[in-house]
Amino acid sequence: MRLPSKPRCRSEGFHRCRVGKIQPNVKGKQMMNSTADRIRDVIASSDVVLFMKGVPAAPQCGFSAAVVQILSGLAVPFRGVDVLSDPQIREGIKVFSNWPTIPQLYVKGEFLGGADIVREMFQAGELAALLSDKGIATVST
């Protein structure tokens, strides 16, 4: 989504932050530009990024652990981002993706979904195919 070059009123779907930057409203939630920029930078930093609770070596929830297990089973190198260590990222990623839950998986900058979607794609063979199509090697390619 491109942000407008001039301020708009709330009725047009935008608000003005205290520092004067414009940011979209998503279901009543707002995000500072600096958080959105940090999220964009993280997503751009690796081909596969998993926003998760905990770290890949020690996931802090079953859903995050399930996605880590799937990616590890496919031998996909990925960057894990611990949302528990940064409250701005934890809330900001939900607004950024317009997706209410964590974990969230991004491949080559594209949001794929959460644990259930990743699990379904993996079981159907679609995840390995998508990774291969995007030029990311897996155990099965």
C-beta neighbour count of 130 within 10 angstroms: 16
Q: Do residues 14 and 25 touch, judged by C-beta distance below 8 A?
A: yes
Across the chain, the runs of DSSP E, i.e. the strands, are 14-16, 22-24, 48-52, 54-55, 58-59, 79-82, 104-107, 110-113
Mean pLDDT by runs of 10 across the 141 residues of the chain is: 38 35 45 86 97 98 98 97 96 94 97 97 96 88 47
Q: Which helix (H) or strand (E) holds 41?
A: helix 33-45
Q: Do residues 70 and 117 touch, judged by C-beta distance below 8 A?
A: no
State the Cα–Cα distance between residues 68 and 139, nearest whole angstrom.
15
Q: Which helix (H) or strand (E) holds 120?
A: helix 115-123
DSSP 86: -
pLDDT of 139: 78
pLDDT of 31: 58
pLDDT of 15: 35
Q: Give me the count of residues in the chain.
A: 141
State which fold the 10-133 domain adopts: Glutaredoxin (3.40.30)
**The two three-digit tokens of residue 104, written as one number:** 């969230």
Cβ-based neighbours of 72, under 8 Å, separated by 6 or more: 56
pTM (two decimals):
0.78
pLDDT of 30: 55
